Amino acid sequence: MYVAVKGGEQAILNSHKVIAEERRGDPAVPELTLAQVKEQMQLAVDRVMTEGSLYDRDLAALAIKQAQGDLVEAIFLLRAYRTTLTRFGATLPIDTAKMAVRRRISAAYKDLPGGQVLGPSYDYTHRLLDFALAAEEGVGAPQVDMAEEPVDESIPRVTDILNHEGLIEEEVAADDEARVADLTREPMEFPAERDMRLQNLARGDEGFLLALGYSTQRGYGRNHPFAGEIRLGEVAVAFEPEELGFPIEIGEITVSECQMINQFAGSAERPPQFTRGYGLAFGHCERKTMAMALVDRALRARELDETVDYPAQDEEFVLYHSDNVEASGFVQHLKLPHYVDFQSELQLIRSLRRRHDEEQMEAAE
Amino acid sequence: MTGTQTAAVAETAAPAAAETTEDGYNFAYLDEQTKRMIRRCILKAVAVPGYQVPFGGREMPLPYGWGTGGMQVTASIIGANDTLKVIDQGADDTTNAVNIRRFFARTADVETTETTGEASIIQTRHRVPEDPMTEDQILVLQVPQPEPLRSLEPREIECRKMHAYKEYGLMQVSLYEDIARFGEIATSYSYPVMVNDRYLMSPTPIPKFDNPKLDSYPALQLYGAGREKRIYAIPPYTKVKSLDFDDHPFQVQQWEENCALCGAEDTFLDEVILDDRGGKMYVCSDSHYCARRRAEGHSGKLSGSAAAAYAAAVGADQPEKGA
């Protein structure tokens, strides 16, 4: 009887129909196929896989199509699907030193073992709209010439090279057998250890991390970063079934990795030494891994006895607000009815205003 | 809490484990391991009334902030024989309530109802039903922010310490500051309560009008916060006290008018704007309660044909129709 939202059920169904129609767009235009999204929107697929925490190009393409290209919505779709999947176990850690490298650059050294491999990158393109791409006949099948020499099979990490001289902190797990935290199964705990922080950042919103990383460069937590190394390529994934007792390779995935080298003045106990920030993402998400590495380093303030003065160093601030599925949901929940709370506030403000008027009157008398 | 109810919480849903309703998804969406984990957290929450138990909250196919915590609690305790009622702002027909009810009808194939007395589980956002609930029922509340101290102290680490030491002076000071500045406590919803003389608890944004109901409530109250990954509970017949001062006792909202439809004098009323000249009326926020009273012959000043005319008028230009 109280009718302001009566018919909600029908309205919801109708809304779904409207969105289906809008998603399809002009029916005279051929419908987008998942293969097209997967092959020609690869970077969108990569971002959705990374923040959706699920390495599946087909499902990510489906999510992008279903979300009309809204990547945060697509990430949400993928997450909601992922959470229902059965868990067989955890793979062994991937070894990025054994990556089949397609791109590998270091800003710390001009040349280094393995060389600089530019690979696919927009870095040195002129950002001029390429009207050739707008042509009806399309771009055909562009092909790149084979390099004269293949890329080295195994390319040492820059951080490992630095490590020979002891110039950079070693990165060894405190306890190799210790279980790695998993935010998708357990809530965050504070203070958060680095495994939990890195998982949070890996799933975190690229835009949020980009802004935070940027803030550390502009003086809000400066930690003098160098892009020690960025690499992109394929790594093998191995799984060790309990009943088998030895690892088997179950496939390969594409990952981007960023090792940031940062300064550290040292302390009474530790000599001056470079420190690290780390970023890793599924597919080609270079900007994300760089931002992640900056924020990872900033969040190590506690561990490195630095004062926590800035947002990017504040782990509760960063980790609680990095997830775009959480953020998007909660910001948009403001669309839900709040009649009851608002009514309560109306009651309150009227009473406060009455009191205010009475006091004014008394004062005037 | 009674022994039978504890058992009910722990065992509910188990017989339905093998059933699947929506293709490819488990009964009530979540897998059985997850539901068991959540039920364990619920048991802990019941054992320590008002304490926020961290839990491994899952992604749900509805957005965070739209009831994912409540949904996970409901999904964990619901069984094939349960009857579910879902309300938002006290009403069964608000879009989000409709949506969550549809979700469980789809994934758990349970019976749903709008009648408070018929439901074995009531999931709610922002209200406690006007009709009393019984020991056989469970009230599941959706919680946006479980931490009552959050607005005073943003750090989780600090808040957990304050709870551990039962150090709630900050909250009392904040309420006192309200009195000093406004002459009264300027919190109209999410009004903090002490549970079992031990834990300070946020009763979710229910209006403070509903706070007195929480005290010694016969039904088990389960609070689920999905985004913040916390579950807490108030077992039946637990002492729940709204914070106040001796010289400024806790008070609930009062209206000068009665419900325009059913004439109720003691319910939480929503204000409905009738025109752009200040015309308004008040109706019960609890849609089922109001409908039941009208069916029993109660009437307000805008009953019968006038109400029908009003319904037609508001229905005609309601924003959500047709999306």
Contact state of B64 with A329 under an 8 Å Cβ cutoff: yes
φ, ψ (nearest 5 deg) of residue A227: -75, 85
* Locus of tokens 């039920």: B39
- Please report residues of A whose CB lies closer than 8 A to that of B59: 76, 79-80, 82-83, 184, 325
Six-digit token pair at A337?
């009815």
DSSP structure class, residue A242: T
DSSP collapsed to 3 states, B163-193: HHCCCCHHHHHHHHHHHHHHCCCCCCECCCE
Q: How far is A267 from chain B (nearest CA, A)?
A: 27
Q: Can you tell me the distance from the alpha carbon of B16 to that of B174, in angstroms, rounded to the nearest whole number?
A: 48
Contact state of B98 with A184 under an 8 Å Cβ cutoff: no
Listed residue (A175, A176, A180) closest to A89, CA to CA: A180
Q: What is the pLDDT of residues B225-241, one digit of tens each?
A: 999 999 999 999 999 99
Greater pLDDT, A326 or B94:
A326
Q: What is the pLDDT of residue A320?
A: 96
Q: Is A219 helix (H, G, I), strand (E, B) or coil?
A: coil
Distance of CA A258 to the CA centre of its chain: 13
> What residue ranges in A172-282 does DSSP mark as E strands?
225-239, 248-262, 275-282
Window 50-69 of B: residues touching A by CB (8 A cutoff) are: 54-61, 63-66, 68
Q: Looking at domain B3-144+208-239, which CATH architecture does it have? A: 3-Layer(aba) Sandwich (3.40)
pLDDT greater than 90 at residue A153: no
Which sequence spans correspond to the domains of chain A? Answer: 10-82, 96-119+149-327
Mean pLDDT of chain A: 91
| Positions in chain B whose pLDDT score sits under 70 | 1-23, 303-323
Contact (CB, 8 A) for B118 and B131 = no
Q: Dihedral sign, CA of B261, B266, B270, B275?
A: positive
Domain(s) of CATH 3.40.50: residues in chain B: 3-144+208-239
User: Which of B41, B57, B70, B262 is the catalytic position?
Assistant: B262
* B7 exposure class (CB count in 10 Å sphere: 0-12, 13-18, 19+): exposed
DSSP structure class, residue B47: H
The set of residues, in sequence order, having a beta carbon less than 8 Å from that of A149 and lying 6+ positions away, is: none
For the ranges A161-175, A241-255, B102-116, which has the lowest average pLDDT?
Answer: A161-175
Contact (CB, 8 A) for A289 and A280 = yes
Q: Which residues pair with B123 in a beta bridge?
A: B86, B140
Kindly give the pairing relationship between strand A100-105 and strand A225-239.
antiparallel
Q: Is B320 on the interface with A (CB under 8 A)?
A: yes
Q: What is the pLDDT of residue B163?
A: 98
* Locus of tokens 């229910």: B206
Q: Is B268 on the interface with A (CB under 8 A)?
A: yes
Six-digit token pair at A170?
């070693």
pTM here is 0.85
HSE-up of residue B167 (Cα within 13 Å, Cβ side): 9
User: Which of B41, B69, B224, B290 is the catalytic position?
Assistant: B290
- Please report residues of B whose CB lies closer than 8 A to that of A15: 323
Q: Is B288 on the interface with A (CB under 8 A)?
A: no
Q: What is the pLDDT of residue B304?
A: 59
- Please report residues of A whose CB lies closer than 8 A to that of B318: 3-7
Kindly give the pairing relationship between strand B138-142 and strand B121-125.
parallel
**pLDDT class for A272, splitting at 50, 70, 90?**
confident
Q: What is the pLDDT of residue B6?
A: 45
Q: How far is A10 from chain B (nearest CA, A)?
A: 7
Q: Can you tell me the distance from the alpha carbon of B46 to that of B53, in angstroms, rounded to the nearest whole number?
A: 10
Q: What is the pLDDT of residue B303?
A: 64
Terminal-to-terminal C-alpha distance of chain A: 49
Kindly give the pairing relationship between strand B83-88 and strand B121-125.
parallel
Q: Is B207 on the interface with A (CB under 8 A)?
A: yes
Q: Please state, in angstroms and as integers, the Cα–Cα distance from residue B306 to each residue in A294, B299, B300, B312, following that order.
A: 65, 11, 10, 10
Exposed e or buried b for every residue in B258-273, given b needs 16+ CB within 10 A?
A: bbbbbbbeebbbbbbe
Listed residue (B121, B160, B161) closest to B141, CA to CA: B121
CA-based R_g, chain A, Å: 26
Contact state of B57 with A18 under an 8 Å Cβ cutoff: no
Exposed e or buried b for every residue in A80-101, given b needs 16+ CB within 10 A?
A: bbbbbeeeeeebeebebeebeb
The set of residues, in sequence order, having a beta carbon less than 8 Å from that of A258 and lying 6+ positions away, is: A227, A229, A230, A278, A279, A280, A286, A289, A290, A292, A293
Q: What is the pLDDT of residue B12?
A: 45
Window 118-137 of B: residues touching A by CB (8 A cutoff) are: 125-127
Contact state of B189 with A355 under an 8 Å Cβ cutoff: no
Q: Is B291 on the interface with A (CB under 8 A)?
A: yes
Question: Shortest CB distance from A340 goes to which of B102, B127, B323?
Answer: B127
Q: What's the count of helices (H) and strands (E) in chain A, helices before strands?
A: 12, 4
Largest CA distance in chain B: 60
Rounded to 5°, the CA angle B151-B155-B161 comes to 105
Q: What is the pLDDT of residue B113?
A: 95
Distance of CA B16 to the CA centre of its chain: 26
Contact state of B54 with A339 under an 8 Å Cβ cutoff: no
Question: Shortest CB distance from A325 goes to which of B29, B64, B323?
Answer: B64
For chain A, give the percent of residues with pLDDT over 90: 65
Q: What is the pLDDT of residue B319?
A: 38
Whether B284 is catalytic is yes
Q: Which residue of B has its CA nearest to A323?
A: B227
Q: Can you tell me the distance from the alpha carbon of A282 to that of B83, in angstroms, rounded to the nearest whole number?
A: 44
Q: Can you tell me the distance from the alpha carbon of A46 to that of B236, in angstroms, rounded to the nearest whole number?
A: 50
Contact (CB, 8 A) for B108 and B56 = no
pLDDT greater than 90 at residue A298: yes
Question: Shortest CB distance from B290 goes to which of A1, A6, A341?
Answer: A1
Q: Where are the alpha helices (DSSP H) in chain B?
A: 3-11, 32-47, 68-77, 95-107, 156-164, 169-182, 211-214, 287-295, 304-316
Kindly give the pairing relationship between strand B230-234 and strand B138-142.
unpaired
Contact state of A1 with B294 under an 8 Å Cβ cutoff: yes
Whether B262 is catalytic is yes
Q: Which residue of B has its CA nearest to A326?
A: B64
HSE-up of residue B275 (Cα within 13 Å, Cβ side): 4
Six-digit token pair at B196?
């079992």
Whether B290 is catalytic is yes
- Please report residues of B whose CB lies closer than 8 A to that of A8: 93-95, 97-99, 320
Q: Please state, in angstroms and as integers, the Cα–Cα distance from residue A230 to each residue in A96, A107, A214, B312, following that order.
A: 11, 9, 18, 64
Establish whether this prediction's ipTM goes over 0.85.
no
Q: Which long-range contacts (CB under 8 A, 24 or more apart) does A51-54 make?
A: A51/A75, A51/A203, A51/A204, A51/A205, A51/A206, A51/A324, A52/A76, A52/A77, A52/A78, A52/A79, A52/A82, A53/A78, A53/A79, A53/A82, A53/A184, A53/A202, A53/A203, A54/A78, A54/A79, A54/A81, A54/A82, A54/A85
Q: Can you tell me the distance from the alpha carbon of B92 to that of A312, in angstroms, rounded to the nearest whole number?
A: 43
Contact (CB, 8 A) for A211 and A287 = no
Contact state of A15 with B271 under an 8 Å Cβ cutoff: no
Window 21-80 of A: residues touching B by CB (8 A cutoff) are: 76, 79-80
- Please report residues of A whose CB lies closer than 8 A to that of B321: 7, 10-11
Q: What's the count of helices (H) and strands (E) in chain B, helices before strands?
A: 9, 12
pLDDT greater than 90 at residue A329: yes
